Amino acid sequence: MDNLLLRTFLEVASTGSFINASERLFVTQSAVSLRIQRLEDSLGKPLFTRSKSGAEMTQAGREFERYALSLIKIWEEARQHVGLPDGYTKSLTIGAHYSLWPRLGFRWLDALQETMPALNIRAELGMPDRLIRYLTEGQIQVALTYTPQLRAGLSAHKLADETLVLASARPAEMGELGEDYVFVDWGPE
């Protein structure tokens, strides 16, 4: 089975859209459609119900999803184990939120390399939804993120507290900011 077909299937399942999946995979929508068609032909069942509003998994698609995740996970484990460079005995792939890596990732990486010199370490940077998907697919074993999503088989551990600081070009109390204050909602993060 083609790994690319599985990844495309999981992306369409995750986004609910062939268009969104094509954007996230950096391919055309027709390439995504062709890959899904090849997968459906191989399985002998439709995996998605297509409509103008997107793509919804069929019963066969929902059943196949767990197998696709397992196949990707096994492939990643094999690739990491067989592809270990000489001198290394184990491999660890760490995923991290873009803004967390400079502060926590590098320090953690240094500590791991010092305590476990035979550990081959690889890093993947990304946004939380992608990191969680990589965890469930087995592409990474650990993720550093602000807002973990608890899912079956995953656990979350608090590493640190963070203090937010209001910075201003001139000294002022919160009550004095008035019209100069701009609030930016960065979402759940």
Bridge partners, residue 144, by sequence: 96
185 within a domain of the structure (yes/no): no
Confidence of residue 1 (pLDDT cuts 50, 70, 90): low
Domain range for residue 45? Answer: 3-66
Average per-residue pLDDT in the chain? 87
62 within a domain of the structure (yes/no): yes
How far apart CA 158 and CA 114 sit, in angstroms, is 23
21 within a domain of the structure (yes/no): yes
Confidence of residue 65 (pLDDT cuts 50, 70, 90): very high
61 within a domain of the structure (yes/no): yes
pLDDT at 147 over 60: yes
Total domain count for the chain? 1
Q: Give the chain's end-to-end CA distance (angstroms, integer).
A: 37
The region of weakest confidence among 20-29, 66-75, 81-90 is: 81-90
How far apart CA 21 and CA 39 sit, in angstroms, is 15
In this predicted structure, what is the pLDDT of residue 28? 96
Confidence of residue 182 (pLDDT cuts 50, 70, 90): confident
Give the pTM.
0.60
Secondary structure of the chain as H, E, C letters? CCHHHHHHHHHHHHHCCHHHHHHHHCCCHHHHHHHHHHHHHHHCCCCEEEECCEEEECHHHHHHHHHHHHHHHHHHHHHHHHCCCCCCCEEEEEEEECCCHHHHHHHHHHHHHHHCCCEEEEEEEECHHHHHHHHHHCCCCEEECCCCCCCCCCCCCCCCCCCCCCCCCCCCCHHHHHHHCCCCCCCCC
34 within a domain of the structure (yes/no): yes
CA distances from 20 to 27, 29, 49, 170 (A): 10, 9, 16, 43
In this predicted structure, what is the pLDDT of residue 74? 87
Confidence of residue 41 (pLDDT cuts 50, 70, 90): very high
pLDDT at 89 over 70: yes
Q: Which residue, 147, 120, 114, 117, is CA-closest to 132?
A: 147
Q: Say which residues have a Cβ less than 8 Å from residue 18's Cβ, sequence separation at least 6.
A: 12, 29, 32, 33, 36, 50, 54, 55
79 within a domain of the structure (yes/no): no
In this predicted structure, what is the pLDDT of residue 31? 96
Work out the number of other CB atoms within 10 angstroms of the CB of residue 176: 11
33 within a domain of the structure (yes/no): yes
31 within a domain of the structure (yes/no): yes
Quick: pLDDT tens for 48-58: 999 988 999 99
Mean pLDDT, residues 129-143 taken together: 87
CATH of the domain at 49: 1.10.10.10
